Structure 1
Amino acid sequence: FNYTVCFKKGLENSNVDCLSRAPIKSPERTDTDINREVRLILESSVDHIETPTLTHQALKEATLKDENLSQLLKQLRENRVEDTEYTIEGDVLFRGPRVVIPVSMQPAVLQELHRTHVGVTKMKQLARRYVYWKSIDSEIERLVR
């Protein structure tokens, strides 16, 4: 086959595929899906972060034991939080696409990030893709310097 691709303005394109633009309701997520997603987020790159101790179950337990995060979980469940950036997936908190790491697990995450030996800037970039806690940037700077 020999194809020619030409740009055509949306207003001029009357042969639009409505199915490609139809909104699709996201299916409900199961604990298995959430566990897999958390694992993929935390272990998405073997070259970057290997976190065998940061399982969905470990995160769930540490989040429930963390005084501030357990309070935030409760407030989110009761719709008493204005900040819509936070979501709950199987008792694990997310801020956007990033997993909120309980205080008790932060040193382990920092050590895993530091094992990459990429320097402050790259380490911050890597952390910002996957994990969140309030003082992560300053803790990375302190660890690397």
Structure 2
Amino acid sequence: MRIGNDLLHASLSGDTISTAPGDTASARKHDAAKEFSMVHSRSALPLVVLSSFVSALWASDAFAHAELVSATPAAKSMAMPAPTELKLKFSEGLELKFTGVKIVGPKQNVIETGPATLDPNDNTMLIVPIKSALPDGKYTVDWHALSTDGHKTKGTYWFESMK
């Protein structure tokens, strides 16, 4: 059993086992250490793969945020006729009190909007009424959101409008 413990110690500590010519005991130790190392490294592979997979799943859940999934009018689109409201669909439920939108018009003026609401049947859909008709031009939408799990996100997109 002493040889087995020495091999285990040498294999785990990374020690090299040298063999002298004709030293069959040393050669057997060296071969056994290599075999021990190979067998145990192969048996550990499924555990490493499984733990990596579980870590990736945990990380994706832990870092989830309310990302903008879609918008009406859509990003980089031409809205005809001009919209009377914006609808922003997010990947998670929103805290309305800490979520908002600012629309900047073609002359860099802020467009007046009414109070934002959540769709009564879908707390991931933010609805922002536009108070007056939009003149033709390019509009930038700056949004910020707080998801129901407490994560903050923000973003920007643009659309063009034509009557």
Q: Shorter-chain TM-score: which interval?
A: under 0.3
Larger strand share, 1 or 2: 2
TM-score, normalised via structure 2 length:
0.20
TM-score, normalised via structure 1 length:
0.22
